[in-house]
Structures are given as C-alpha cells and as structure tokens.
Amino acid sequence: MPSHDLYVPDPRGLKESIDMNTATYTVKGMTCGHCVSSVKEEVGGVAGVTNVEVDLATGLLTVGSDGPVDAARIAAAVDEAGYEVVNQ
C-alpha cells in the first residue's frame, strides 16, 4: 500500500483551521505580569474563548475562540479585570 494512502489529517488541526476565530483588541492600563494574568483569566472565562494571548508592551490582546464572540463580552471581561479596551 503506498504510504500516502495512510495519511489522515489530524482532525483537531482541521477543526482549528475551520472553526478557529481570532480577534485582537488593545487593552489600556496593564503595567505588569499580574495585569496580564488578570486579563487572561477574565477573558479566558468568556464562553467560546479557547485561547488568550496578551502582549504587555503593546497592550495587544489576541482572543482565539471556537466561534464568533461578541466584542462587547470581551470588553466586559477586560473591564471586570480592571482594564479597558480602547478599540475593537
């Protein structure tokens, strides 16, 4: 049997490429790693969110989700953490 017949795409990788949504926001007010942790925790708790990346230097918040997530929910989570989304 030729080896290419054995190739099966990783279903998880496939799902990610189809269903993964990514949105970026700019967060104002973070000054240290604790701020980053707070934002990650709150945003990570939003329904549908699967991945949260925060760049402290630029305030860039990258949110990965398994479907569309309302930007207002992300902004609310950031607000809950004690910071502010300055653009959406």
CB of 77 to Cu ion, least distance (A): 17
Q: Are 71 and 40 in contact (CB under 8 A)?
A: no
Instruction: Specify the residue, 13 or 82, whose C-beta has the smaller distance to Cu ion.
Output: 82
CB of 22 to Cu ion, least distance (A): 25
The single residue among 32, 57, 68, 87 that binds Cu ion, judged by CB under 5 A, is 32
Q: Number of residues in contact with Cu ion, rule: CB under 5 A?
A: 4
**Rounded distance, CA 88 to CA 16, Å?**
23
Terminal-to-terminal C-alpha distance of the chain: 52
**Rounded distance, CA 69 to CA 39, Å?**
16
34 makes contact with Cu ion (CB under 5 A): yes
Binding site for Cu ion (CB under 5 A): 31-32, 34-35
